Amino acid sequence: MEPSTEPPIPDWMAEQPVPDFLTPEQQDLFLRAFSAANFLMGCNTSAVDDYPLADGSQPDKSNYETVTLDSSQTYLLSVGRFARWDDFEAMLDGLFTPAYKETLLAGEISDGASVPLFTSTEDGRLCYLDVSRGSDMEYDMADAPDVYELVSQSDSAVEFTLIGHYADLTVEADENGTRPIYTEAYPIRMERTSDGWRVAEFHLPY
| Predicted pLDDT at 108 | 67
The pTM of this model reads 0.90
The length of the chain is 206
Please check the confidence at residue 4 and state whether its pLDDT lies above 70.
Answer: yes
pLDDT for residue 124:
97
73 neighbors 115 (Cβ within 8 angstroms): yes
DSSP type of residue 49: G
Q: Cβ of 145: how many Cβ atoms within 10 Å? A: 11
Q: Over the stretch 107-133, which tens digit does the pLDDT of each residue have?
A: 765 566 678 999 999 999 999 999 887
Q: How deeply is 14 buried, as exposed, middle or buried, from its count of CB atoms within 10 A (0-12, 13-18, 19+)?
A: exposed
**Which tens digits make up the pLDDT trace of 142-186?**
989 999 999 999 999 999 999 999 999 989 888 877 899 999 999
Reported confidence tier of residue 2, pLDDT bands at 50, 70, 90: low
Q: Is 17 helix (H, G, I), strand (E, B) or coil?
A: coil
Confidence label for 140 from pLDDT (cuts 50, 70 and 90): confident
pLDDT of residue 111: 61
Contacting residues for 92 by C-beta, under 8 A, at least 6 apart? 36, 101, 104, 105
pLDDT in tens, 17-57: 999 999 999 999 999 999 999 999 878 999 999 999 999 99
Instruction: Supply the DSSP string of 105-140, one letter for each residue.
Output: HS-EEETTEEE-SEEE-TTSBEEE---B----HHHH
Point out which residues pair with 114 in neighbouring strands: 109
Q: What digits encode the pLDDT tens for the residues 196-205? A: 999 999 999 9
